[in-house]
Structure 1
Amino acid sequence: MDHSIVTFWLVVSLCLAGMTATWTRVQFAGRGWVAVYLAILLVAVTGWLLEQAAIVYLAAALWFLLIFLPGLIATRYNRRFMQQDYAGARRLAQIIRRLHPADGWIELPTIIRALELSQKGDLTAASETLDRFQGVKSLVGLAAIMNLYRITNRWNEQPAWQLRHREEIERNPDLFAGVLRALGETGDVRGLVEFYDGHRQKIGRLVPPASRDVCRLMLFAFCGKRQEVERLFSGNLAVLPAPIRAFWLATADLEAGASESAKGQLEALLPGAEPLLQRAIERRLARISLVPEPLDASAERVVEEASKERSHEERFGSQRSLFSNRARATQLLMAVNVLAFIAESCLGGGTNLDVLYRLGGLFPPAVRDGEWWRLVASLFLHFGALHLAMNMLALWALGPFVEFALGFWRFMLVYLLAGIGSMATVMALSSPTGAEPLTVGASGCVMGLVGATGSLMLRGWRREKALAAKRRMVLMLLIVFMQFLFDSAIPQVSMTAHLSGAFIGFAAAIFLRDRLTAPATGKPRPAG
């Protein structure tokens, strides 16, 4: 197998997928990322046209340096920012700024520095820094002014400012949480509910998922829904500092009419709160005597729908961790695959066909002679480190969720059924009179997980009309389609194994009970 061709198509697939996702989610705010994707594609295509493997590998290196690495750091940045560790977030933003000097990353460290100053009580310096962004209509400029209103408690001025910048805000959904909070802080709960309801689809596409939940936090807290706020804090928003969580729980109680309970919580928080939180608490206490208006039926419906969407995302849209105790089968399978590759290396190398044959690679004549064990053994062998890495990364991405949904044994059943079934299909369609290649790899198993995920998502969509399930199902279809194109471009890759594995995984999951159904309380069932 020519690794440069595999690398080329992998880079092309990643760039096209990333470019599409970026434009769909952030549009104008992500033009810099789109430009980087296009530049990497240009390098890759140049290498392919000139038949220069070095240029193709350069494109892969550029993707790692300019896309993967900033994305990885951005994940840590988002976590630090949510934790309100502004010093740590600023350091990470400075690194990203060097790797991606566009889309607001150049100015972002300045804004975070202002938040850091306000956190320490230097409100004058922080305000002066943020005030420099007056008139800047980019995402980062608008975010700076929103933060200026927030740290100075000038909430009454923000709605008028929002009206003047309505078009820019509409193009930048990342600002919606700030809009929702301003409406809540000024007592316009009806306007808050209407804004959320009118922008539900855009909020549903925000990434990372915590951004969606911050919008829901504003809705639930200012509508007095303490139980829903608690559920948010047990999920993506668990990273928020404890005093911030307590503040929003007290806010929910206050808006629900439990003013005495809210007052006690806020007064208990006040002595140890940092300057920014102190000002927010004092604002709440100053309004403690105001009686909130009850929600009408339409507002209750919006809140109920938002709660349902959160539940759907938690069950159908979340990415499960490989390091969870609910991903033991995935961990075991990855370990077995790696150990098998170590054995290949010790016996002569993972690209040595004699070694692969001796260890159990699928060779149709041998299977027809009675060596049926090869249908299983071949699933754990790989042709070189790149083949192993691609399959293990895919197993890492897909396995934990399917195992969470099905449980250990049903997951293992789907994995092995898809793998053995795909190898049996390759065997059945092989020609006894022609050249019969040696087939190895966990690709059929992995594609079985793609098919199983699609099947589970189809069930979720039909059962609950869950948009999160529909989106994930469409993603699985896209993966199958891209795998088809990938296989068509590289003759050495077994399209038969991949497509049959996906079909078997899809069919198997139809008949298996899943753990994604929500009980009557609205909480997902535990998957142990």
Structure 2
Amino acid sequence: MSEAPSTASVCYRHPDRETMLRCSRCDRPICTSCMNDAVVGHHCPDCVKEGRRSQRPARTAFGGSRAGQLGYVTTAIVAINALVMIASAVVGGPRAIAGSGFLGLLGTGTPLTDAGEVLGYATYGGEIHGVAEGEWYRLVTAMFLHYGAVHLLLNMMLVAQLGRYLEAQLGPLRFAALYLLAGFGGNVAAYVFQAPNQPSAGASTATFGLIAAVLVVNRRLLRDPGPILSLLVTNLIFTFTIPFISIAGHLGGLAIGGATVAALAYPRLPRRSLKQALGCTAILLLLIAAAVVRTQNLFT
């Protein structure tokens, strides 16, 4: 006696498996290994992939991508500063780590810090150096240089703590723009308001900007600003009481960080990204203009 042929459908991805299930979107037969639970029925793997391609990526309240939750930019900033500190110690010796400055906790200057710190106009090594002499890169490189391990550690603790929060809220690109503009702004303020031969360096310009940014972001999200206000007050006390700290750099970073995050946090749809880009560009141009005016005034 012969058996009657089976009339059951087979999975379109596994022809050896009979099934009574079908994709609720394309109606193709699928087995239990291929089915994906949906609001109504089940979807096959191909329909799930198609749905993901057509789905808009999730965005934060400020338009940033959810990739910011991974903290890649924050991690990169800490790593770059640590590597630069190692390089500074290699060329400057052990005293680049500690042994001078406030309570002996700071490191000495090294050829690397000499080449990249904020310096308006001065002579060392028998040559004239400084931003006014055309070394404009100092306004950027100074935010990645530190005078010793303690200086580095204090700044990187703030970057790690505040950076992860802000990067998750703003997204990687917006957070990177905030950090770089705050650091650059603090360095420009140091160049404009300090004596031309007074050097300064460190990520403090950027970290003060991050403190201001958390205040603005929390206000925008209607969150309690209490803890970050305490942190701000503590850092301001240190700024005005501990010697050898660039007051202009810290306050400049604070102001530019606040202005930058306001340009990122308050624009609304439509064209939010364009408005944010224009706001950041305007801040950058104003800083460049301030540095140019300072340079001209040094020679008049």
Q: TM-score, normalised by structure 1?
A: 0.33
Partner SS, residue 439 of structure 1: coil
Aligned counterpart in structure 2 of residue 494 of structure 1, from 217, 229, 246? 246
Rate the CA distance shift 1:410–1:373 in 2: closer, same or farther, 3 A: same
Q: Which residue of 1 aligns with 2:204?
A: 443
Partner SS, residue 382 of structure 1: coil
Q: Which residue of 2 aligns with 1:339?
A: 83
Using the aligned pairs only, state the percent identity. Answer: 33
Partner SS, residue 136 of structure 2: coil
Provide, for residues 123-161 of structure 1, a one-character-per-residue CA deviation record: whole Å limited to 9, x for no partner: xxxxxxxxxxxxxxxxxxxxxxxxxxxxxxxxxxxxxxx
Aligned-residue offset at 1:431: 2.8
Q: Which residue of 2 aligns with 1:454?
A: 215
Partner SS, residue 491 of structure 1: coil
Provide, for residues 91-143 of structure 1, a one-character-per-residue CA deviation record: whole Å limited to 9, x for no partner: xxxxxxxxxxxxxxxxxxxxxxxxxxxxxxxxxxxxxxxxxxxxxxxxxxxxx
Considering fraction of residues, name the structure with more strand.
2
User: Within the alignment, does 1:328 sit opposite 2:84 as a pair?
Assistant: no
Q: Which runs of 5+ in 2 are unaligned?
A: 1-59, 62-67, 97-106, 122-129, 267-300
Instruction: Report which structure shows greater RCO (CA 8 Å, sep ≥6).
Output: 2
- Tell me how far apart the structure 1 counterparts of residues 231 and 245 of structure 2 sit (CA, whole Å): 16
Aligned-residue offset at 1:408: 0.7
Aligned-partner residue type, residue 78 of structure 2: M
Aligned counterpart in structure 2 of residue 424 of structure 1, from 169, 188, 192? 188
Aligned-partner residue type, residue 256 of structure 2: I
- Tell me how far apart the structure 2 counterparts of residues 359 and 343 of structure 1 sit (CA, whole Å): 13
In the alignment, is the contact (CA less than 8 A) between 2:118 and 2:190 conserved in 1?
no
- Tell me how far apart the structure 2 counterparts of residues 354 and 420 of structure 1 sit (CA, whole Å): 22
Aligned-partner residue type, residue 232 of structure 2: V
- Tell me how far apart the structure 2 counterparts of residues 353 and 444 of structure 1 sit (CA, whole Å): 19
Provide, for residues 228-255 of structure 1, a one-character-per-residue CA deviation record: whole Å limited to 9, x for no partner: xxxxxxxxxxxxxxxxxxxxxxxxxxxx
Aligned-partner residue type, residue 239 of structure 2: D
Partner SS, residue 147 of structure 2: coil
- Tell me how far apart the structure 2 counterparts of residues 325 and 479 of structure 1 sit (CA, whole Å): 23
Partner SS, residue 156 of structure 2: helix
In the alignment, is the contact (CA less than 8 A) between 1:362 and 1:440 conserved in 2?
yes
In the alignment, is the contact (CA less than 8 A) between 2:91 and 2:112 conserved in 1?
no
Partner SS, residue 431 of structure 1: coil
- Tell me how far apart the structure 2 counterparts of residues 360 and 388 of structure 1 sit (CA, whole Å): 15
User: Within the alignment, does 1:481 sit opposite 2:237 as a pair?
Assistant: no
- Tell me how far apart the structure 1 counterparts of residues 240 and 194 of structure 2 sit (CA, whole Å): 18
**C-alpha RMSD over aligned residues:** 2.5
- Tell me how far apart the structure 2 counterparts of residues 344 and 505 of structure 1 sit (CA, whole Å): 27
User: Within the alignment, does 1:393 sit opposite 2:157 as a pair?
Assistant: yes
- Tell me how far apart the structure 1 counterparts of residues 186 and 82 of structure 2 sit (CA, whole Å): 21
Aligned-residue offset at 1:475: 2.3
Aligned-residue offset at 1:504: 1.1
Partner SS, residue 157 of structure 2: helix
- Tell me how far apart the structure 1 counterparts of residues 171 and 199 of structure 2 sit (CA, whole Å): 33
Aligned-partner residue type, residue 70 of structure 2: R
Alignment of 1:351-390 (within 5 A): 351-365=107-121, 366-390=130-154
Q: Which moved more, 1:343-352 or 1:503-512?
A: 343-352
Aligned counterpart in structure 1 of residue 92 of structure 2, from 345, 348, 371? 348
Alignment of 1:74-473 (within 5 A): 326-349=70-93, 350=96, 351-365=107-121, 366-432=130-196, 436-461=197-222, 469=223, 471=224, 473=225
In the alignment, is the contact (CA less than 8 A) between 2:143 and 2:183 conserved in 1?
yes
Rate the CA distance shift 1:476–1:334 in 2: closer, same or farther, 3 A: same
- Tell me how far apart the structure 2 counterparts of residues 431 and 505 of structure 1 sit (CA, whole Å): 23
In the alignment, is the contact (CA less than 8 A) between 2:69 and 2:168 conserved in 1?
no
In the alignment, is the contact (CA less than 8 A) between 1:426 and 1:497 conserved in 2?
yes
Partner SS, residue 364 of structure 1: coil
Aligned-residue offset at 1:331: 0.6
Aligned-partner residue type, residue 363 of structure 1: L
In the alignment, is the contact (CA less than 8 A) between 1:329 and 1:412 conserved in 2?
yes
In the alignment, is the contact (CA less than 8 A) between 1:344 and 1:356 conserved in 2?
yes
Q: TM-score, normalised by structure 2?
A: 0.57
In the alignment, is the contact (CA less than 8 A) between 1:357 and 1:363 conserved in 2?
no
Aligned-residue offset at 1:498: 1.5
Provide, for residues 149-201 of structure 1, a one-character-per-residue CA deviation record: whole Å limited to 9, x for no partner: xxxxxxxxxxxxxxxxxxxxxxxxxxxxxxxxxxxxxxxxxxxxxxxxxxxxx
In the alignment, is the contact (CA less than 8 A) between 2:70 and 2:168 conserved in 1?
yes
Q: Which residue of 2 aligns with 1:264?
A: none
- Tell me how far apart the structure 1 counterparts of residues 220 and 69 of structure 2 sit (CA, whole Å): 25
Aligned-partner residue type, residue 484 of structure 1: L
Partner SS, residue 117 of structure 2: coil
Rate the CA distance shift 1:414–1:455 in 2: closer, same or farther, 3 A: same
- Tell me how far apart the structure 2 counterparts of residues 325 and 456 of structure 1 sit (CA, whole Å): 16
